[in-house]
Amino acid sequence: MMRIILIIAGCMLFPVLTSAQPEVPVEQWSEKTILLIGAHPDDDAYSMGTMAMLQAHGNEVYIAILTTGNVGTQDPGLSMVDLARIRKQEEQAALAALGIPGDHYINLGYDDGMLEYENKKEVVAKLVRLIRQLKPDVIFSFDPGKGEQRWHKADHRASSYLAADAARAAMWPLLFQGQITMEGLEAHTVEEYMLFDSAEEDKNTWVDISGFEDKKITAMSKYVSQWSSGWYDYRGPELPNEEAKEVRERVSRRIEYREGNPVEGFRYVKGLPDNIGR
C-alpha cells in the first residue's frame, strides 16, 4: 500500500520537477534581453559560456556588478584604488573575449566585502532603475535559494537577495515611484530567472556551451589579479608565457561536462519574482 502511495506521490511530483525548465532551450534563445547581476567583477564566470552563446545568438547581454572588487587581493602592494582599476580592466577584457560590448558592463561602484552593510534601499533602487531601463526578459543571479544562512560568501549572499528584491520591486509601479513619475520609466516584470552557484541538487537546467568553451577559458584567464600569481604579487595584465599556459589549463579544468558536452548548470525559475527564493 505504502508503495502505491509513493508511486502516486511520485507521479504528482514529477511534472512539477520537469516543468522547471525553459520552454525554449537556452541554446535556442534569441532576441532576448539578458541582465546578469553579480557582486564582483568575475562573478559572471559561472555563466560565461552561456553569456558568450547568448551574445552570439542575437540577444542583448548586460552585466551589472555591484562592487568594484577592490578588496580581493593578498598583494600588500596594491591599494583599493589600484585594485578597482585593475579589476575594471580585467572585467572589460573578459567581456571583450566573450563578444559582449564594453558599454553593456555596468558597475555600481560599491566596496568589495561590504555589500551587506550598504543602504539596502539605495542599492535596490539602483537595481530597480536598471531593470526598468533595460527591461530584461531574463535575470541571471546568484541563487537566493541556496543555503546562504548557513554559510555563503557574504557579498554573494547579499547580491542574491538584492537582485531578487530588486526584481520584485521593479514590477510594482508604486514602489520607487519617482522613477516612473519623474524619470519616465515603467514598471517591469521579469518572469524568467537563471540562478547560478545553486546547490547541486537544485540545478535543473544545464546549458550546453559547446563551441564557446574557448571564449570562456580566454575570458576567465583575464582575471590575472585573481587566479594567478597576481593574487599575491600583481605585475600587470600579461603573464609570462609559461604561467599564462598554466592558468588556461587550470581554468579549463573548471569546465563541467555532462555526457561529454561542456555545460553550465543553473536553477531555472519561471514565475513572479516573489517566488525565486523557493
Catalog residues that contact Zn ion under the rule CB under 5 A: 39-40, 43
Question: CA 91, CA 104: separation in Å to the nearest integer?
Answer: 11
Residue number, 66 or 269, with CB nearest to Zn ion: 66
Residue number, 65 or 185, with CB nearest to Zn ion: 65
Question: CA 231, CA 223: separation in Å to the nearest integer?
Answer: 10
Question: CA 182, CA 119: separation in Å to the nearest integer?
Answer: 22
Could you tell me the smallest distance in angstroms from the CB atom of residue 65 to Zn ion?
A: 9
Residue number, 55 or 160, with CB nearest to Zn ion: 160
- With cell 559560456, the residue in question is 49
Which residue's Cβ has the minimum distance to Zn ion?
Answer: 40
Could you tell me the smallest distance in angstroms from the CB atom of residue 21 to Zn ion?
A: 27
Residues 6+ apart with CB under 8 A from 275: 269
Residue number, 37 or 124, with CB nearest to Zn ion: 37
Residues 6+ apart with CB under 8 A from 266: 47, 50, 140, 194, 195, 196, 198, 203, 204, 205, 206, 207
Grid cell at residue 75:
598583494
Residue number, 41 or 136, with CB nearest to Zn ion: 41
Residue number, 188 or 250, with CB nearest to Zn ion: 250
Residue number, 43 or 264, with CB nearest to Zn ion: 43
Question: CA 104, CA 84: separation in Å to the nearest integer?
Answer: 18
Could you tell me the smallest distance in angstroms from the CB atom of residue 40 to Zn ion?
A: 3
Could you tell me the smallest distance in angstroms from the CB atom of residue 73 to Zn ion?
A: 13
- The residues facing 138 across adjacent strands are 34, 192
Could you tell me the smallest distance in angstroms from the CB atom of residue 112 to Zn ion?
A: 9
Could you tell me the smallest distance in angstroms from the CB atom of residue 115 to Zn ion?
A: 10
Could you tell me the smallest distance in angstroms from the CB atom of residue 187 to Zn ion?
A: 30
